[in-house]
Structure 1
């Protein structure tokens, strides 16, 4: 009987431990998704750089961090495991160290493989994995558009223009709804003005993004015309 009661106690304790400490929280779930998206974006940046020239780990870290800006950083603790995973998956290959060079691992050059080139194309055409921060992902894609075939190049551009237009429509509708809400509820005047100002800023931001993406598309069209290439059907305005 004592053993049976002890077993019940342990079972209850295990259940309590799961319910309190082992159960995933909403914050942890979103953190894992955010981390996964970030790693995929790092993978895209690294492969896009290696599409142009072999680089060592130090050079990759320097260029990637320059691209990320002042408030984000790709640490060695993230970069090194990512490169190891890319190598294990056959996406990159490592060149043997040249004679006379330092034996530090960072002096080894990473080359993109044919499988890596295919993965790069896949990441460039992926328009669903970055919905929460697709604006940042698109900024990285723009510098590598020339590595895509023309039809795919214009698909990526037109998708982002449509993405911007969807935001413009959303916030325009929100502005109209806000005006109705503020008319029916006696919010303080300062709150009303700042809320309206914030939404107008968002609308102008996405209008600017759409206009910029259209300029990039026009530039791509001009480059193709100069090269004597036919303009794909996807080059037409959205």
Structure 2
């Protein structure tokens, strides 16, 4: 999963492992810290596969390793961008990674990624909506303690609003993309 974002980031400029840790951690949903113990073995694995090169920065007192994408890495990036995203717990992070990499693919591929993301968000929105209506019906019944149910509804309202915002953003991107197709 992390390989995709690393290749996307390196497609625009060389980066240190430290900087890649920061970018990767900030791109995950939910956000989390990525340790050197995770990053450097992955970078070494990617270098062994020929996707990147790692060079020590000579003018740095800490001898930072700087990663650079190779032609094989660019090919791998294209392959990863074209793969479908599994509908699992990593889905949102994977879509966020691909959205960051839209500049690395053709307009037709951008359109497909946006359509796939829209379909996933539409599915989430419909599920939240169905649950919301079910809980609203329950709230109207003769339940004595309605506080938990009321806050569950508020939480669902937040989830639906997030979906609506994502859908508006996707629609805007799709409209802008029409000029490129």
Q: Normalising by structure 2, report the TM-score.
A: 0.83
1:187–1:155: structure 2 CA closer, same or farther, 3 Å change rule? farther
1:89–1:194: structure 2 CA closer, same or farther, 3 Å change rule? same
Match of 1:101 in 2: 59
Deviation at 1:105, TM superposition (A): 4.5
Tell whether 2:179 aligns with 1:179: no
Deviation at 1:117, TM superposition (A): 1.6
Tell whether 2:74 aligns with 1:74: no
Aligned Cα root-mean-square deviation (Å): 2.7
Tell whether 2:37 aligns with 1:84: no
Unaligned residue ranges in structure 2 (runs of 5+): none
Q: Normalising by structure 1, report the TM-score.
A: 0.65
Residue 132 of structure 1 aligns to a residue whose secondary structure is: coil
Divergent runs of 4+, >6 A: none
How many residue pairs get aligned? The number is 181
The structure whose RCO (Cα within 8 Å, separation 6+) is larger is 2
Unaligned residue ranges in structure 1 (runs of 5+): 1-39, 225-230, 232-238
Summarize deviations over 1:57-100 as a string: whole Å, max 9, x none: 233334434545995111111111110111112211234x57x6
Q: Kindly indicate whether the alpha-carbon contact (under 8 Å) linking 1:130 and 1:137 is maintained by their aligned counterparts in 2.
A: no
| Aligned pair partner of 2:10 in 47, 50, 60 | 50
Distance in 1 separating the partners of 2:122 and 2:169: 12
Residue 73 of structure 1 aligns to a residue whose secondary structure is: coil
| Bigger helix fraction | 1
Match of 2:121 in 1: 164
1:64–1:211: structure 2 CA closer, same or farther, 3 Å change rule? same
